[in-house]
A and B are shown apart, each in its own frame.
Chain A
Amino acid sequence: VTKFDPISLKILWDRLVAISDELVQSLVRTSFSMNVREGYDLSCMLFDSKARLLTQGSYSVPSFTGTAPKTLQHMLDKFPPKKLKPGDVIITNDPWMGTGHLFDINVMRPVFKNEKLVGYTMSVTHLPDIGGKGMSSDCTEVYHEGLRLPVCKLQDEGKLNELILDIVRTNVRVPEQTIGDLMANVACNEVGGRSLLEFMDEYNLEEIESLADAINLHSEISMRQKIEEIPDGNYKNCIQIEGPRHPILLNAVVCVKKGEVAIDFNKTDGPVKASINVPFCYTNAQSLYVIKCLTIPGLPNNEGSMRPITVKAPHNCILNAQPPWPTGGRHSVGHFVVPLLMGALAPALPEKVQADAAMMNVFSVQGKHRNGEEISSLFFLAGGLGAMYGLDGRAVTPAPSNMTVVPTEIWENRTSMTIEKRAILENTGGAGKWTGGSGQEVVFRNDTGNPIEFALMGQRTEFPAKGLVGGGDGSLRKYLVNGVEVDPKARITLMPGDRIMMQEAGGGGYGNEKERDL
């Protein structure tokens, strides 16, 4: 540690972050998956030779916080470092080893400097397709959801394993795009390895372990100091969310003590027969995300910063679902870890927490364009953001994950449907000293001349976004077909000329409404 003073540490660290950012950029520009290019549903990481996370690209969704070190460990269990060769590439999309669902492919490449293993690079992206039933909530086993690749060697000393590529190609709906994305991952890892070696040359480093030590120690200390500012205590919260038949109960106890945080999801309900179960890696990621937002939002992700935080969930509860429970839409339950923990910590950090967000509305649309082209696409709509101390929640803004809107003009071109309206639903955010963000109302009309299917996965249709510290709840999400309300988790068929109206939920308010400055 003595090797790096604060100045050198800052400079070297920044460069490593820059290398991972460069990887992110090239992935976004070349990928086909909408989730990747519009929602940055991807991540790139650098590791040292002891498989410790050094840096992560600064722009990736919360789902990937802290998952990669475990993925890498699974890979090295099967292919020990001693047996790895330059030009090897290891992959897996196993939900329990990777990031929680089959859509995400994890691609790793060892980095060698003069025959010596000095580190690893890894990228994760959401693939355009992985076979099975596609993204929907009506799978009951992981086997319905598509192809599950165990940890395997896609490239052996520079030579691609054509059999694996063939297996993928044969199992997916859009083979060119899926293989294209897979290869973009392979290419970006190669670039990452090269950049890491150049960096080591420029600064005359033979190894990066001692740098990893310094980065991790520094991060750990900063994180502990920030956690120490939270009053010690056991903070509890319990929320109900919507399940396929019955409400699901999520429970958490957050124990803050002497610069450490221990989160336990005990008494949380079990898994359900729908693709909304959450593997633990994802629960863990969302938990770390909350603590990071509430402590040091700008701190680069690495192992040190996560060391003071432990997370556990009972075996085979819905936040630690085991195979073969289906997990494709794990976000629709997993995202609720954020309001669950924010609510728990509200008494301890009243000026830092954020009231519940309306959550994103993700639905998939399948049918035929008027010109005969197939339509198969995800669509995202945001509701309102939760308010916080000193700040109204912004209208129509996604949380905790992120996305970018698909413009009306692009959507109409791509589907030949017509969007009749896209307007803020005023006063749908919770009341409060600071009000929750409003939702929006969007009306789609089926002008394709063909029946078109909407697979709905809506949350916040029974349980609103809760207000905090006396703030009111946001309004609920609703779906209406031709003016009649429909089941928010069903697969709906719109006939030509039919309209579906989506009313997006509002965010929770903060503080007593009567204290609002006018």
Chain B
Amino acid sequence: VTYRIGIDIGGTFTDFALVDDSTGHLLVHKQLTTPTDPSKSVLSGIITMLEENSIPITEISTIAHGTTLVTNAVVERRGATTGMLVTAGFKDALDIAMERRFDLFDLRLEFAEPVVPRRMRVEISERNLFDGTIESHLDEIEVEAAVESLIDRYDIQALAICFLHSYVDNTHEKYAKELILTKFPHLSVSASSEVLPFMREYERWSTTTINAYVQPLTDLYLGNLEAGLQELGFSGRLLIMTSSGGMVTTDIARTFPVRLIESGPAAGALMAAFLGQRLDEPNLLSFDMGGTTAKGALIRNGKPLRRYEFEVAREYDFKQGSGLPLRIPVIDMIEIGAGGGSIAEVNDSNLLEVGPQSAGASPGPACYDQGGTSPTLTDANLVLGYLVADTFLGGRMSLLEPHSRKAIKRSISEVLDIDVSRAAWGIHEVINEDVARAFRVHASEVGFDYRNCAMIAFGGSGPAHALRVAKKLRIPKVIFPVGAGVMSAIGLLTTPISYATLRSSRIGLNQLKPSTIELEFSSIEKQAKDLLIKAGVKVAEIEIERRLDMRFIGQGHEVEVSLAENFDVKELEILFRRTYNKVFAAAPHDADIEVINWKVEASGPRPTFADNYTPFQGAKKGTLGQRKIETYDDKTGESSVSSVVDRYVLEIGQKVLGPALIQEDETTTVLATGDEITVDNLGNLVAEINYTGV
């Protein structure tokens, strides 16, 4: 039993990666997603793969799964009818939200509606004070009556329990939940202190209501999947990836489905980190660009950065602040509305703008000839000769360049009075600048110096833009990994089971004693450990990582400090100041310091992933032949001739000099004049960029 399967469900395609840990052989597979019931495409993909390679399902030890199911359910509002019990006086918290406009100049702002409508929120006369004292006690009869009326009147299937200060004392929430489950066992119930004991009621409650909202649907999906796998004879383990990049069992996924948001993209960033370790590049930018969005992650010392905030369902032009906030551990990723389908237009002030609106898969770019008439990034890349019309997706789809030309001409060239290729170049380069800008701003936010890093570029559109983005950031090295098209599915196979959580408790540094520290960590550490033990991890194999959010008293933003196993409380101040200075450069401060959040991550052993994994691609070898294509040269504004190189015939150590396109089924790597890549001994394409004299 040496096989494992990674499955990543995306909006359009579901990707599969199957690895044989004993030999390192890797097989990949891609097929269309079945949106109405994604478990169908998962099951049929598994069957196809196993049958084609004559592997019995009993040989599979683990199936690791990443899915956009939860994100889509929130965006498309397909969750359950959900009610809410909330501390008296605060049922409007979800509408009052942040009391903030996310754009100051645009007067027509629209905000995402909460997932629990106002009429389905019932106030309960209980009250905890900030220090944990109880001002009014919970009344069982009141709770029961409230839930009963929500069921009678609205037929709710899920319920969120949201009480003030439950992160200090969860007695009321816990008791209410037990009571409700005894009386109404069919309800899905989420309590805010369980989902994440974090101080800030609006964000905690928003997270809790969304958890409740997606619970019934997640339960159904996982149930179908488990039943289907069992029918096939699968007796191994089914694991699901969370947005923080940890693997969890289906039990944990059912309890905290909100943590599955962004589980697919997280796997891509983790794969980049994993590759970085193999290639001895501990500091990386992971750059993933697909059809609708581009995603970037920063990887420091071999680990992707994490954070505890995320926003889902951005209502208004993807603008930050227009969605619903979530406090869950996530891999810290920047998301830009920039992908192959991004639509270009001339805006109000007569300037070219690209995205965030996307033509998506339907109607798609003009060149798909499916009715799309707006010019997109893919159209621009086709006009520029950065894509080959008849080898797109391994030749399974052909692109119509005249359509692209026509769309760009009508919407851009004629409006701005410039020629079509210049307009196309503008579209291409605006995206490069957008991506570079997002990396730059984000790096300054977290104090990350990307100049000594390598970039790992993948996704359908990433490799066409990576080198130009890298040059803007003065990144010296870009790596185009093997299997770039299914990176996330491969990433699912490299990750251990883990669970991360945090708890808010504000304590001044001068009051910290070793015993306080143990006390503060104990409850969340126990929760994390228990979950892992339940998932079958041996106690001795559990690794615990502790981190603190600290700040100068009076500041609004925290700095995260990692604690070594046997750290000395006395060194905490130095540790904090060192981290602070790294992030914000030196700032002289005599102010006092405090701890705000206590964070724990428990993980099991990392799966042994063969170091010499090689994708099997014999069948594709050499189908492309010798070709040339005219490409746009931005330096001269003229076209020059690029060679089209078949990635499947490249050999270790071989070099390719630009201008050239390197073609594989799922993506195209674009080299401009002067760029050069070398194939490393694992099959990755590596470009080194020399900046002296640039």
How many angstroms from the CA of A14 to the CA of B430 in the assembled complex? 9
| B112 is an interface residue with CB less than 8 A from chain A | no
Whole-angstrom distance from the CB of A472 to the nearest CB of chain B? 19
Show 21 A/B contacts (Cβ-Cβ < 8 Å), sorted by A: A6-B351, A6-B416, A6-B426, A7-B425, A9-B351, A15-B433, A21-B437, A29-B445, A29-B584, A191-B585, A221-B350, A293-B106, A298-B347, A299-B348, A397-B99, A402-B100, A405-B97, A409-B167, A413-B130, A422-B92, A422-B96
Number of A-B contacts (CB under 8 A): 204
Nearest B-chain residue to A30, judged by Cβ = B584
| Cβ contact within 8 Å between A407 and B101 | no
Residues of B within 8 A of A (CB): 88-93, 95-101, 103-109, 111, 129-131, 135, 164-165, 167, 199-202, 347-352, 416, 418, 422-423, 425-426, 429-430, 433-434, 437, 440-441, 444-445, 472, 506, 552, 554-557, 583-591
A59-79 contacts to B, CB under 8 A, are: 59, 61-62
Nearest B-chain residue to A21, judged by Cβ = B441
| A446 is an interface residue with CB less than 8 A from chain B | no
Nearest A-chain residue to B415, judged by Cβ = A6
Residues of A within 8 A of B (CB): 5-7, 9-11, 13-15, 18, 21-22, 25-26, 28-32, 34, 37-38, 59, 61-62, 128, 174, 176-177, 179-180, 183-184, 187, 191, 202, 218-219, 221-222, 226, 289, 292-293, 296-299, 352, 354, 380-382, 388, 391, 394-399, 402-405, 407-410, 412-413, 416, 418-424, 440, 443, 447
A180 contacts which of B96, B348, B588 (Cβ < 8 Å)? B588
Nearest B-chain residue to A61, judged by Cβ = B104
Q: Which residues of B are found within 8 Å of A399, using beta-carbon distances?
A: 101
| Cβ contact within 8 Å between A396 and B588 | no
Interface of B is mostly: loop
| Cβ contact within 8 Å between A388 and B107 | yes
Known contacts A29-B584, A410-B200: does B100 contact A404 (CB below 8 Å)? yes
| Cβ contact within 8 Å between B433 and A6 | no
| Cβ contact within 8 Å between A397 and B349 | no
B351 contacts which of A10, A397, A413 (Cβ < 8 Å)? A10
| Cβ contact within 8 Å between B441 and A422 | no
| Cβ contact within 8 Å between B556 and A34 | yes
Whole-angstrom distance from the CB of A482 to the nearest CB of chain B? 18
How many angstroms from the CA of A424 to the CA of B118 in the assembled complex? 11
How many angstroms from the CA of A32 to the CA of B129 in the assembled complex? 27
| Cβ contact within 8 Å between B96 and A440 | yes
Whole-angstrom distance from the CB of B323 to the nearest CB of chain A? 15
Known contacts A32-B554, A222-B349, A404-B100: does B92 contact A423 (CB below 8 Å)? yes
Nearest B-chain residue to A36, judged by Cβ = B556
Best-buried of A38, A397, A398 by chain B (most CB within 10 Å):
A397
| Cβ contact within 8 Å between A407 and B585 | no
Known contacts A18-B437, A424-B96: does B588 contact A293 (CB below 8 Å)? no
How many angstroms from the CA of A422 to the CA of B93 in the assembled complex? 8
Q: Which residues of B are found within 8 Å of A407, using beta-carbon distances?
A: 199-202
| Cβ contact within 8 Å between B101 and A397 | yes
Whole-angstrom distance from the CB of B229 to the nearest CB of chain A? 43
Q: Which residues of B are found within 8 Å of A32, using beta-carbon distances?
A: 552, 554-555, 591
Whole-angstrom distance from the CB of A364 to the nearest CB of chain B? 15
How many angstroms from the CA of A293 to the CA of B351 in the assembled complex? 18
Whole-angstrom distance from the CB of A486 to the nearest CB of chain B? 22
Since A18-B437, A409-B164, A413-B506 are in contact, a sample of 9 more A-B pairs with Cβ atoms closer than 8 Å, ordered by chain A residue number, is A7-B426, A11-B433, A29-B584, A128-B554, A177-B554, A183-B587, A226-B348, A404-B100, A423-B89
A396 contacts which of B96, B426, B583 (Cβ < 8 Å)? B96
| Cβ contact within 8 Å between A298 and B350 | no
Nearest A-chain residue to B559, judged by Cβ = A29
Whole-angstrom distance from the CB of B533 to the nearest CB of chain A? 32
